[in-house]
Amino acid sequence: MKKQLIALALAGFGAGIAHAGPAAYIYTPTVEYGEHEIEFKAGSHRDHSKEDETAMMIGYGMGVTPWWFTELNVEYERERGERFKYEAFEWENKFQLLETGKYPIDLGVLVEIERPREHAEGWELKLGLLTQKDFGKVQANFNVLAERHYDAEEKSETELGYQWQLKYRLMPTFEYGLQGMGEVGKWNDWAKSDEQEHMAGPAIFGKLPMGGHQALKYDVGFLFGMTKDTPEHTLRMKLEYEF
């Protein structure tokens, strides 16, 4: 069943990517079966012309099976001087392919469908290969993402992005590390290096127990743009209430 669902998603994916929004976050491949979560994700970035963009997402998700996590998100955005407005509805599905810790790496697949407020943009499909490996107290993640719009007024190409993260697990309530993400352009014809988007910076993480099976997780990062086409800096955060 798991393989059939993944194959069906891949079969529907043909050959521009929306730039990583300020509320973008690092995906991980593992699934917590039976866990429910309410998430708040937010971020703000400033481009080189000093224009600000802020976004936030509110979502509810759960580990439906030991290998399938699903989440529904609503996204809002605003630019400087404007009010928040509804931007998109998103359905995220994550499939864990390998039992956690049993193999050299943990592996998962992401299938995400988004319906933008502007229906002229069609439907957005994102597929990702998610990887994770532990080196003692250091946890490393690297993801490859492909994204394309369907049924849009303008022709769309499949474009390629990536994410990475290094986290030192000092203690459950406080961890620190580095994270980054970016886009390189069309999957088969990368943009020139100065026209790609790359950002990276420090981040802190933690999980605060609240009694029983409840906990509050946080993930905050401050990322610096590394090319002229990348926002100058991005402050992003994710708060997750687990129960």
101 half-sphere exposure, CB direction, 13 A CA radius: 1
Q: Of 198, 109, 185, which Cα lies nearest the Cα of 147?
A: 185
Q: Of 96, 133, 132, which Cα lies nearest the Cα of 111?
A: 96
Range of the domain at 237: 2-242
Q: Residue 85 to residues 88, 154, 227: CA-CA distances in angstroms?
A: 10, 23, 29
In the chain, the percentage of residues whose pLDDT exceeds 70 is 92
Specify the higher pLDDT residue, 72 or 229: 72
> What's residue 17's pLDDT?
38
Q: Span 174-197, mean pLDDT? A: 94
The domain tally of the chain equals 1
Specify the higher pLDDT residue, 155 or 216: 216
> What's residue 12's pLDDT?
40
Alpha carbon 146 to its chain centroid, in Å, reads 12
Q: How far apart are CA 232 and CA 189, in angstroms?
A: 25
- Using the predicted structure, report yes or no on whether residue 13 has a pLDDT greater than 60: no
Specify the higher pLDDT residue, 15 or 38: 38
> How do residues 23-60 score in pLDDT, each as one tens digit?
999 999 999 999 999 999 999 998 877 678 999 999 99
Q: What is the CATH number of the domain that holds 235?
A: 2.40.160.40
- Using the predicted structure, report yes or no on whether residue 182 has a pLDDT greater than 90: yes
> What's residue 15's pLDDT?
37
Specify the higher pLDDT residue, 215 or 152: 215
The answer, as to whether pTM is greater than 0.85, is: yes
